[in-house]
Chain A
Amino acid sequence: MIDKITKLIIYFAYFLEDLQRYREIKSFFYNILNGEKSKLKIIFDSFMVILVLISIFILIYDVKNTLNPFWYSFENFVLIIFLIEYLLRLWVYNDIRTIVIEHNEKSNYTNEKFSLKELFKEVFSKKLEYITSPLAIIDLLALLPSFRGFRILRIFLLFRLFKLFRYARSINEFVKVLADKKFELFTLTFLVSFVVFASATAIYIFEADLKNSEIETFFDAIYWSFVTISTVGYGDISPVTSEGRVVTLILIISGIGVISFSTSIVASAFSEKLTELKANRIKTEVDRIDDFIIICGFGKVGEIVAQKLAKSKDKFIVIDKDEKNANLAKQLGYITIEADAKYSDILLEAGVGSGAKKILCLTDDEVSNIYITLSAKNIDKDIEVISRVNKKSSEKKFLLAGANRVIYPFEISALVASEYVGEPVAFEAIYGIVSESKYRTLLDDIEIKRDSFLQNRAIKDIDFKYYKLILFGVVRTNIEGYFDFEQSFELDKKHFIFNPKEDFILKEGDFLITLGKDVSISHFRKEIEKSILNV
């Protein structure tokens, strides 16, 4: 019988392991509940915060008033949601099936008998690990106040408030900061307890037996001593004898010390942690975005690139080890990490291997650039690295290090400059195209999309003049069959056909290379999009 159950459990574990759908569902819920990067988590968290706040409000209102029955059912609904959440969290905390599989493989390997007892022990201890975690306990206790009838359970309403910790990162960080000052806080608590206890004892001895004194019990003494040391001083209990007043004077002086000590602990804890908190926030920001670009080095080139990326609404982050540069980037409102990008952990933190798709190595120092290139490629071989080269001769080294593209800042500039000798007007045209600023005229590629009005059209049937564009050429990926285009150049699996003939038919996936003002090009793009929608 036990053998059969064991077999069934093992079989079921493997069955789940193979079931793609099951794993997908589980990871979906994991993302909602714990996925740091998931957008769903943000929505879920906000939803839960609203539920918690409404339910707290209902419960508070309920203390002295009678509620509309609707709100009772709403309260039940909230309870069910919390219960489901609790169970889901318990479920996604770990995978039982992997424990089963591990046990099975271990027993197969060592020829030991598969022990159900051991298995249950491990499964149970794992789940218990979750159940006894502080947040899970809060979750469980937060369920309690919904059970009407037990008035005492209402106090667990507070736990529902604590539940908010789960959904708000900043509260968590606050707690963490204080937790780091455990030693100081402990010392303070010890000191305060000692002073409170000593002065309570003294006042009790002096005044408890007097008729006109308000101190009746030792608790009164403790209460009075605490109210005094905290400098709150209600005045409901005050000393009546000279001895009692002397105790009060001492207590007041030590009270000032206690207040300043505790304030300074909290304040210093935060100021120490401020930079770390900021770094954490950057990390969260980085985690939340996807498909972004990392700019290493915020010098002149980096700054212009960042400015252009910001303008085109591309997501990017800046890394610079120089404080001045980093501050400038921060002032401009960019996500900035002030650190040396050479180190792998900085790159990891910046999102190499997770959300970053491109990295630009633009520092002044060639050695740093090559190092960043290598580190980035080492973490994520698919990341696109564009690196700045200061010496033409180093280009090869960068390509060896894995850079996808290199930029040699002076080559194009020199080319443009030397064009000025002999052909100054051609210089003007080239400079206009490469700098894009003065004339706002640029070369751009426009894709021929499926069902757009350009698909299967001949060049002569497109009125480029009307769109205020000049056709430069066409890029085509697949040119099988015919290759009689007069001016065609191979570029990395694609072909660029310069000035195609009038009867050249455009196909889906081609790119038009056109010269025009930025506004004309974006207008033409819009027309293409419109024509697709109209089909």
Chain B
Amino acid sequence: MYSEIIIFGYKHLGQEIARQLSIKNDNFIIASNDMVDFKKAQKDELNAYYLEDITDDKELIKLGITKNIKYIFCVSEDESNNIFLTISARALDENLKIIAEAETIESKKKFELAGANKVIDPYEISANRIFSLIKKPQIIDILDNTVFSKEIEDSINLAEINITKNSKLDGVYLNKIDLNSFNLIAIGVIDREKGEDFKFLTDGYNPKLDAKDVLIVVGNRAKIEEFKSYVKV
């Protein structure tokens, strides 16, 4: 089966990522050098591969790295394995998107040095969530029922609008776009004129959108699709 994604490791985070990707109908491969994880993935009827030796680049190439694979999640239990895989994968393919799980701030830096594109700290995220549950439970309710509820139809979602050349948004200032008729809110942008970084639009900044810029909007999923097709024409 053709797939663009490898999940290395099938413990807590790996299993959960697999579940989320299944919801989005993305195809993925589970790879693991741990027999227990591998068996578990097989039992869950997933496309699982057992990695004999993660230091062997040939095995990684066999999985599709340098070919069809575009994303790899390094989320196994063993952090040193994750780091090693990050380095190997980065060495093999410069354009591969690598997402890794880090458990501390120090290891976060190590993963960044090893070449990971994104490093996620599940402990920090859940600690934040617990803190928010204490201080502002309402916000958690709203996030759970909107942005995080991929499973609910007709929910509020966060989505990116990629500006393409000659589309309706090319060369237009943000405040000239009628987002309101689609009931959308723009919350962030990558404005390549100003840099490659993502920026929140909270400070009233009014970017001029050009090709290759990205706009982040929040709104009803159907309305977002409507807006996307409106932009294209």
B129 CB contacts on chain A under 8 angstroms: 407, 412, 434
Known: A409-B123, A434-B125. A421 touches B5 (CB 8 A): yes
How near does chain B come to A477, taking the closest CB pair, in angstroms? 11
B13 pairs with A410, CB closer than 8 A:
yes
Is B55 in the interface zone, CB < 8 Å from A? no
Instruction: Give the residues from 432 to 491 in chain A that come closer than 8 angstroms, CB to CB, to chain B.
Output: 432-437, 439, 441, 443-445, 465-466, 468-473, 475, 486-487, 489, 491
Q: How far is the CA of A443 from the CA of B200 in the complex (A)?
A: 12
Q: Secondary structure of the B side of the interface?
A: mixed
Q: Interface size on B (CB < 8 Å)?
A: 70
How near does chain A come to B22, taking the closest CB pair, in angstroms? 10
A335 CB contacts on chain B under 8 angstroms: none
How near does chain A come to B158, taking the closest CB pair, in angstroms? 5
Instruction: Give the residues from 476 to 527 in chain A that come closer than 8 angstroms, CB to CB, to chain B.
Output: 486-487, 489, 491-492, 494, 496, 498-499, 511, 513, 515-517, 520
B216 CB contacts on chain A under 8 angstroms: 425-426, 429
Instruction: Give the residues from 130 to 149 in chain B that come closer than 8 angstroms, CB to CB, to chain A.
Output: 130-131, 133-139, 141-143, 145-148
B130 pairs with A360, CB closer than 8 A:
yes
Stretch from B36-44, B57-65, B78-86, B182-190 that touches the partner: B182-190
Q: How far is the CA of A424 from the CA of B162 in the complex (A)?
A: 11
A19 CB contacts on chain B under 8 angstroms: none
B150 pairs with A417, CB closer than 8 A:
no
Is B171 in the interface zone, CB < 8 Å from A? no
B218 pairs with A487, CB closer than 8 A:
no
Q: How far is the CA of A274 from the CA of B219 in the complex (A)?
A: 60
Is B20 in the interface zone, CB < 8 Å from A? yes
B99 pairs with A405, CB closer than 8 A:
no
Q: How far is the CA of A304 from the CA of B104 in the complex (A)?
A: 11
The residue in chain A whose Cβ has the minimal distance to the Cβ of B147 is A430
Stretch from A6-14, A215-223, A242-250, A308-316 that touches the partner: A308-316
Mark B177-195 against chain A: 1 for CB-CB distance below 8 A, else 0: 0000001110110100000
B147 pairs with A469, CB closer than 8 A:
no
**Chain B contact residues, CB within 8 Å of chain A:** 4-5, 12-13, 15-17, 19-21, 24, 26, 71, 73, 75, 97, 99, 101, 103-104, 117-118, 120-131, 133-139, 141-143, 145-148, 150, 156, 158-160, 183-185, 187-188, 190, 198, 200-204, 214, 216, 218-220
Q: How far is the CA of A210 from the CA of B178 in the complex (A)?
A: 120
Q: Secondary structure of the A side of the interface?
A: mixed
Q: How far is the CA of A489 from the CA of B73 in the complex (A)?
A: 34
B122 pairs with A410, CB closer than 8 A:
yes
B200 pairs with A425, CB closer than 8 A:
no
**Chain A contact residues, CB within 8 Å of chain B:** 293, 300-305, 308-309, 312, 314, 358, 360, 362, 386, 388, 390, 392, 405, 407-418, 420-437, 439, 441, 443-445, 465-466, 468-473, 475, 486-487, 489, 491-492, 494, 496, 498-499, 511, 513, 515-517, 520
Can you report 28 A-B residue pairs in the complex whose CB atoms are below 8 A from each other? Answer: A304-B123, A305-B130, A386-B130, A386-B133, A388-B126, A392-B16, A407-B129, A407-B130, A410-B12, A413-B101, A421-B97, A422-B26, A429-B200, A432-B188, A434-B129, A436-B128, A444-B136, A445-B139, A465-B204, A470-B200, A470-B202, A472-B185, A486-B183, A489-B142, A496-B141, A496-B142, A499-B219, A517-B202
How near does chain A come to B65, taking the closest CB pair, in angstroms? 16
Known: A300-B103, A300-B104, A413-B16. A435 touches B202 (CB 8 A): no
Closest CB pairs A-B (n = 6):
A304-B127, A414-B16, A409-B126, A413-B122, A418-B20, A465-B204
A421 pairs with B21, CB closer than 8 A:
yes
A418 CB contacts on chain B under 8 angstroms: 17, 20-21, 24, 26
Q: How far is the CA of A470 from the CA of B187 in the complex (A)?
A: 7
Q: How far is the CA of A417 from the CA of B133 in the complex (A)?
A: 21
Q: Among A314, A362, A420, which residue has its beta carbon within 8 angstroms of that of B99?
A: A420
The residue in chain A whose Cβ has the minimal distance to the Cβ of B201 is A470
Q: Among B73, B121, B145, B220, which residue has its beta carbon within 8 angstroms of that of A491?
A: B145
B126 pairs with A407, CB closer than 8 A:
yes
B190 pairs with A301, CB closer than 8 A:
no
Instruction: Name 17 extra pairs, CB < 8 A, besides A360-B130, A434-B125.
Output: A360-B134, A408-B16, A413-B122, A416-B125, A418-B20, A420-B97, A420-B117, A422-B24, A425-B188, A426-B158, A429-B200, A445-B136, A470-B200, A472-B142, A472-B185, A489-B146, A496-B146
B202 pairs with A426, CB closer than 8 A:
no
CB < 8 Å A-B pair total: 221
Q: Among B71, B120, B146, B159, which residue has its beta carbon within 8 angstroms of that of A413?
A: B120
Q: How far is the CA of A426 from the CA of B120 in the complex (A)?
A: 15
A414 pairs with B19, CB closer than 8 A:
yes
B131 pairs with A301, CB closer than 8 A:
no
How near does chain A come to B228, taking the closest CB pair, in angstroms? 12
B118 pairs with A420, CB closer than 8 A:
yes
A427 CB contacts on chain B under 8 angstroms: 118
Known: A407-B126, A494-B138. A516 touches B202 (CB 8 A): yes
Q: How far is the CA of A362 from the CA of B133 in the complex (A)?
A: 14
The residue in chain A whose Cβ has the minimal distance to the Cβ of B220 is A487
Q: Which of A304, A414, A473, A511 has the most CB of B within 10 A?
A: A414
A475 CB contacts on chain B under 8 angstroms: 138, 142
A443 CB contacts on chain B under 8 angstroms: 139, 142-143
A417 pairs with B124, CB closer than 8 A:
no
